[in-house]
Amino acid sequence: MSGPGKLAPKLCDDFLNFDPNKTLPTARLLVDHSPPVGEGQYLSYKIGSCRHEYTTKHTQSILPPLDSRPDATTTYKLSVVCKKCRLHAVVVTDYARSTDPCPNSGNPQHHFRNLPDEGGSSATQIAYAWQCSASQCQAQLQITYRTPRLTDGDRDLLTNTERLKRRFDAVVEHNPSRDGLRQATPMEALSRLRKYIHDSLNPTHNRRAFPADNKRFMETFGVHGKECLPLLQRLGFKYDEADTGFEWSLPNPEVINNRLTVDVNDERELLEDVEFELAALMFRIAIDTGAMNPSASEGWSDAKHDLERTLAAQGYPRYAPLRRVAPPNDLLPYFASLGALPDFADTLIEFAFDRQLDCDPERQSYYFECLQEIAKNRASEQLQTRVAMLHSQDMVSRRDVSAAFRHLDIPLRLPHEKPITDEYILDCFQARQANSSAAVAEGNRDALYKIGISRHSQPLISASKQSVETYEEALAWLGQSANKDMPDDMLLAIAATKQESASDKEIARKAISTIARERKSEPLNNWLLTGSSSGFEMTVEEAMQHITGTATTNLSAIDATILGIQIDSARSDRPGEHTEKAIRTIQKAMAHSPATWPVGLVSHGNTCYLNSLLQYYFGMKAYRDIILNYDQYKLDLHDATVKEHRVGGTQISTTEIKSGQRFARDLRELFQRMIKTRDSSVMPSKDLVCRAFLAPERYSELASDAIDDDVMPNGAEEHADTKISDVTAPIAETPDPDSASKEERRASVASSATLQADDDAPMLDHGDRPPTPPASPTLKALPGKESSHSAPPLPPRRRATLQEMEKAEDKALKEAEEEAKKQQDVTEVHDSATQRLRAGMKALGVDDKTEEQVDALRVLYTVAVTDAVLRTDGTREKPSVSMHPGIQLNVPMEDTDIYSALDEVFDLQPSEREQGQEAFKSIRTLPPIVQVCIPRIAYENGQTSKFTKTVKLEDELYLDRYLENSDIFASREACWTLRRRLRNMRRERRVLRDADVAPDLDVPGVMSEAAAHLESLSGIDAEVVDIGLGSGLEIGPDLASDMKSAAERHSQRVVVLTKEIDSLHSELKSKCETAYRNLKTSKYRLAAVFFHRGGHGGGHYWLDIHDFTNNIWRRYNDETVQELPDNRIHEILEAKTYDHGTPTYVVYVEDSQKEELVQPVCRDPEPAPEPVQWENESARPAPFNTVDPKMITEGGRASWDSPRSVAETAW
């Protein structure tokens, strides 16, 4: 139980002023408490209330004896009645629970708290209950009100002179001869009844009956008293026929032994009450009429003293000055709130305050305000001392709290009843604190402190005291919604903003230190040590939060493709060290052991398929080997400067040969880095990017090209014995693990080498080739070959500066990226790259027909395709043969599968060579690697569009059915007709159904929408004509309905077509299965798939490779290489959604060689550099801070001081 109470004197005062008949159920002066000042209406007695004049009904009361203290057996009872309103009240105090009743040493007064559940009311009674809050007392108090016994009708009956006159007339009429009759006055009527009652209450009164025709009786109550019979009988009078005639007898109420347990309907107490009420009415009549009151001498003693005694409230210490000056009205509510009276002495005021605080701590700040106000008004030293002491004990008054809220600009109430939380207050405080001067900041903290105290909120108090001793305090102090889930780096970011203010700097460090201790956080400790967050290692969780917005450490569940996009957008949206760190952290976490996992390639930007293609070349062992051992395959320009054979159908120039070889060297350099790096990814050189996309004529612009390409004449012999195992042999160009800075290093090496060469190195004569330095760093590593470079020196060339070269290189890179954007798909980039590589290679032979160079690369992937014209008479011509780098499918216009798509290529179709004839293609020879291009860009309806239809791939692909083989020709032929029909129907359905104008609608849908629109237009049309604005749009009257019916026709046709297509498709399928069931010799396995997502000329690219040896698929997504789990293989085999991307190039390998052909893991990471061990201290290089004194004198102090001090801290 909690809540405020009232000291006994206050309750007495309220009792005397309380009129239960004139009060609202919610504002009962006696029972309720006024709301705090300013928060509602002050409770006072209601206008119209009776200013009671209670007198004690002594016979009904058990009053405390003057000289005894109550104990557990004690109950006191005070019964009173009001002279004015005749209200009866019973006040009972029960000490049954008391061990030491008030007043005692600690409790000078009872402090009564209302017990709302223990009252009750009926038609004539209402009761309230209280209990003293002192634990040793717990006195129970009950006050019961009872309505008057005499009704208004009774009163009228007895005092209405008209009625008294009628009764008199009736008595005279009854016995006209009777002498001395006169009309009774109201006073006489009351007095006579009161006398009868008084007599009847006296047990010793003997004469208890009188004749019914008593003269005075009849004057008052009528003939034989019959007119007042109901009242008299209600009071217990009896009317009987006796020997002497009719008579009335008085009530004879029993004597009551126990006044505490007396029944509410007890006859004696009824009569006692009526006796008091009659006396009260007589006082009233005396006042109203001036009539003599025969009972005036009995008086009407005031019950107040008895009341005070019953509540033990008598004689409390009073505030002396009050006799001279009344307290101001606006102070009264504060007394009332303390349950006190304005005349309480300071001691009792303090006691009242203490009791209220004890019983209603929630309103502590308000009670303190009450005390403050009273102390101020009284200028009392005692109370003011108390107030000051409480201040020092961290008590704040409500007024101070309101001021604090105002100070911090926090509203006392939020709209929509939204609660004001600690967090809200803290945020307001932090926001203010951020822009405050030191003095204001101090004021803010004081305000926050007061609010914290009033709310009993430790976080607010701690924040105001700048205490950061606990985890919670530290977070609260940081503010800005810092919480336990916030990652370290965000906390550091907040701490950094705090650091800007000198006063907060130290506390910020303390706060971080507290948090670091709690979290055992390395990054936070690091920050404390180094003062910067740049040195700390981000956790994977934090990094993921930063990049993806989701804090997770379960990286295996993450789609590398999506992560790649998120990384891209993080780089563009939030560029900076933090983002880069997060990316590195994630990549590190995703990286596998360097020895067993392929390395990723950092993207250079918009170079489209290049990274995927480089990964493809690397992952296909056959390709990789050729590049790593390219010197074995390259054409020796000493032997032949001109190519005899064609490459890719064209004649090759010397420049192209050289640039091809240069490209191969860059590729080899990259591959070597991919093998040897300890990192999870490397970045291809800018030059490589340029060489992949720029025309060979422009290679000379590249910085690295300045080093040389002169080694080529001899290079072949020099490196003839280089095997894959040798590629890690030390060469000057050994890749720096830090691939990003590699290029700068390289460029700088290149230029210095060039400059040096110009001065003192012998030069080779290379005719038209640009002058070059004597020996590439590559060759320096291989001793004994220098002599072959002897040649007359060239005239000195212009010295190109490093800046110029870098500028030219950046320009070239930009242009390369521009070129890259023009590439339609991976095929073009792939073709151009293999073309370059092959241009630099020596021919192993020549293709008779095409004069095409036969080389080691070409044999890996070249498909020989025959094309035979099938004449209308059924005869076949001798087929022509052509060589292709793979099989190119048609742009899939509908969802399809790899066999259907291949069928389209090899089916009978209009001949490309002979007008009007039909022809079909077959495969004559299959290479180990079958590259299938799925073009996605088609020119349709006047524009270039990308088609992302699904092409379902087969993991195992049998190509026998397309082979040039007379045994299966009949089967193929049988399918052609069916397929042609199927194709035609699909084409028709496509035209009827697929509308490009509205993505949600098919063609019939578009047409009916249009028809509806036309109809609405014709309505508008009529209106337009109506208001005279013109002649309208002139829409044909039938157009809309024509369109409508056409839409319906199309719609029906599509349904029919779909049905036919489905049945035809299954017929074909079963036919094929039967025909090709046994044709499973040329088995190929899906090895690699290139994906694209996004629009034409942009988007995102990645590559999936099947590692047959380890039997896993990996996704190569720029710098990330991740396993694609089994449950996601369907994303490769049947890419359907935008997220899956669109396969644009798929690679199958011959089944029996698959593990030899595809070997994506090729790693030989260099060991980590050993820390240098100095044999003795003197061998250690001189530390930075031993500054050469000569330097100081020469350079001047100012310029040397700063580096020296930096060096000192570093050591």
Query: Rounded distance, CA 1152 to CA 832, Å?
Result: 29
Residue 890's contacts (CB-CB under 8 Å, 6 or more residues apart) are: 901, 904, 905, 935
Binding mask 52-71 for Zn ion (x = CB under 5 A): x-------------------
Residues with Cβ within 8 Å of 198's Cβ and at least 6 positions away in sequence, in order, are 275
* 78, 80, 91, 132: which one binds Zn ion (CB under 5 A): 132
**For residue 302, which of 105, 97, 83 has the smallest C-alpha distance?**
83
Rank residues 132 and 1149 by Cβ distance to Zn ion and give the closer one.
132
Nearer to Zn ion, 137 or 274 (CB): 137
Q: With binding defined as CB under 5 A, does residue 85 bind Zn ion?
A: yes
Least separation in angstroms between CB 138 and Zn ion = 7
Query: Residue 99 or 984: which CB sits closer to Zn ion?
Result: 99
Residues 1026-1055 that bind Zn ion (CB under 5 A): none
- Residue closer to Zn ion by CB (options 82, 235) is 82
Q: Which residue stretch of 125-133, 436-444, 541-549, 1011-1019 sits at the interface with Zn ion (rule: CB under 5 A)?
A: 125-133
Return the residue of 43, 80, 91, 102 that touches Zn ion, per CB under 5 A.
102
Name the minimum Å distance from CB 52 to Zn ion.
4
CB 599, CB 682: distance < 8 Å: yes
Distance separating alpha carbons of residues 820 and 838, to the nearest angstrom: 20
Token reading at 715: 């290079």
Other C-beta atoms closer than 10 Å to the C-beta of 1191 total 12
In Å, how far are 57, 313, 314 from 66, measured between CA atoms? Answer: 18, 13, 11
The interface mask with Zn ion, positions 14-53, x = CB under 5 A, is ------------------------------------x-x-
Q: Which residues in the 104-123 window bind Zn ion by CB under 5 A?
A: 110
| Cβ-based neighbour number of residue 791 at 10 Å | 13
What is the nearest approach in angstroms of Zn ion to the Cβ of residue 7? 10
1084-1121 burial by CB neighbour count: b if 16+ within 10 A, else e?
bbbbbbbbbbeeeeeebbbbbbbbbeeeebbbbbbbbb
| Residue number with CB closer to Zn ion (84 or 913) | 84
Q: What are the residues facing 131 on neighbouring strands?
A: 113, 140
Residue type, 826: V
Give the binding range for Zn ion (CB under 5 A) out of 85-93, 220-228, 730-738, 959-967: 85-93
Q: How far is the CB of 300 from Zn ion (least distance, A)?
A: 12
Nearer to Zn ion, 85 or 1103 (CB): 85
Binding range to Zn ion, per CB under 5 A, among 137-145, 269-277, 849-857, 875-883? 137-145
Whose structure tokens read 């102070």?
Answer: 331
Q: How far is the CB of 364 from Zn ion (least distance, A)?
A: 22
Residue pair 340/357 in contact (Cβ under 8 Å)? The answer is: no
CB 345, min distance to Zn ion, A:
19
- Minimum Å gap between C-beta 125 and Zn ion is 16
Q: Which is nearer to Zn ion, 87 or 478 (CB)?
A: 87
Min dist CB 193 to Zn ion, Å, is: 21
Q: Which stretch binds Zn ion (CB under 5 A): 98-106, 336-344, 904-912, 921-929?
A: 98-106
- Token readout for 112 is 């009564």
**C-beta closer to Zn ion: residue 105 or 329:** 105
Spatial separation of the C-alpha atoms in residues 157 and 166, rounded to whole Å: 11
Of the candidate spans 124-132, 170-178, 864-872, 1125-1133, the one that interacts with Zn ion by CB under 5 A turns out to be 124-132
Complex with Zn ion: residue 85 or 278, whichever CB lies closer: 85
Among residues 316 and 630, whose Cβ is nearest to Zn ion? 316
Q: How far is the CB of 379 from Zn ion (least distance, A)?
A: 31
Length of the chain in terms of residues written: 1211
Residue type, 482: A
Q: Which is closer to Zn ion, CB of 8 or CB of 883?
A: 8
Which one of residues 7, 92, 139, 951 is an interface residue with Zn ion (CB under 5 A)?
139
SS3 922: strand
- Kindly indicate which of the ranges 129-137, 292-300, 324-332, 808-816 contains the residues binding Zn ion, using the contact rule CB under 5 A: 129-137
Smallest distance from the beta carbon of 3 to Zn ion, in angstroms?
A: 16
* Sites for Zn ion among residues 653-682 (CB under 5 A): none
CA distance 185 to 374: 56
Minimum CB distance to Zn ion, residue 154 (Å): 18
The reply to whether 82 sits near Zn ion by the rule CB under 5 A is yes
**CB closer to Zn ion, 82 vs 158:** 82
Instruction: Name residue 365's amino acid.
Output: S
Task: Kindly tell me the burial class for residue 37, based on how many C-beta atoms sit within 10 Å of its own C-beta (0-12, 13-18, 19 or more).
Answer: buried
Scanning 84-92, 413-421, 476-484, 848-856 for contacts with Zn ion by CB under 5 A, the matching segment is: 84-92
1174 vs 958: CA distance, rounded Å: 65
Looking at beta carbons only, is 277 or 1119 nearer to Zn ion? Answer: 277
Q: How far is the CB of 82 from Zn ion (least distance, A)?
A: 3
Assess 137 for contact with Zn ion (CB under 5 A).
yes
**β-sheet bridge partners, residue 1120:** 1117
Residues 1146-1165 within binding reach of Zn ion (CB under 5 A):
none
* 583 binds Zn ion, rule: CB under 5 A: no
Q: How far is the CB of 107 from Zn ion (least distance, A)?
A: 6
Closer Cβ to Zn ion, 76 or 899, answer by number = 76
Q: Locate 493 and state its tokens.
A: 């970011």
Q: What are phi and psi of 24, to 5 degrees?
A: -85, 150
84 binding Zn ion? (CB under 5 A):
yes
Residue 135 CB, nearest approach to Zn ion (Å): 10
812 vs 577: CA distance, rounded Å:
27
Give the shortest CB-223-to-Zn ion separation in angstroms.
36
The answer to whether 27 and 20 have CB atoms below 8 angstroms apart is no
Phi/psi at 362 (nearest 5 deg)?
Answer: -60, -30
Q: CB-wise, 63 or 800, nearer to Zn ion?
A: 63
3-state helix, strand, coil in the chain (%, to 5): 50, 15, 40
Residue 769 and residue 710 in contact, taking contact as beta carbons nearer than 8 Å: yes
How many angstroms separate the most distant Cα atoms in the chain?
A: 180
Nearest to Zn ion of 91, 706 (CB atom)? 91
Kindly state the smallest distance separating residue 55's Cβ from Zn ion, in Å. Answer: 11
Cβ(278)–Cβ(207) below 8 Å: no
Q: How far is the CB of 341 from Zn ion (least distance, A)?
A: 17
**CB nearer to Zn ion: pick between 102 and 370:** 102
Applying CB under 5 A, the span of 132-140, 171-179, 357-365, 506-514 interacting with Zn ion comes to: 132-140
52 vs 155 by CB, closer to Zn ion: 52
Q: State whether the Cα torsion 563-569-570-571 is positive or negative.
A: positive
Per the DSSP assignment, residues forming a β-bridge with 238 are 249
Rounded to a whole number of angstroms, the minimum distance from the CB of residue 297 to Zn ion is 22
Choose, by CB under 5 A, the member of 91, 134, 448, 689 that binds Zn ion: 134
Number of residues that bind Zn ion (CB under 5 A): 11
3-state secondary structure string, 109-141? CCEEEECHHHCEECCCEEEEEEEECCCCCCCEE
- Find out whether 54 and 61 touch, Cβ atoms under 8 Å: no
Euclidean distance between CA atoms 260 and 258, whole angstroms: 5
SS3 label, residue 52: coil
Element (H, E) at 1191: helix 1189-1195
Question: Is residue 307 close enough to count as binding Zn ion by CB under 5 A?
Answer: no
313: contact with Zn ion by CB under 5 A = no
Residues that bind Zn ion (CB under 5 A): 50, 52, 82, 84-85, 102, 110, 132, 134, 137, 139
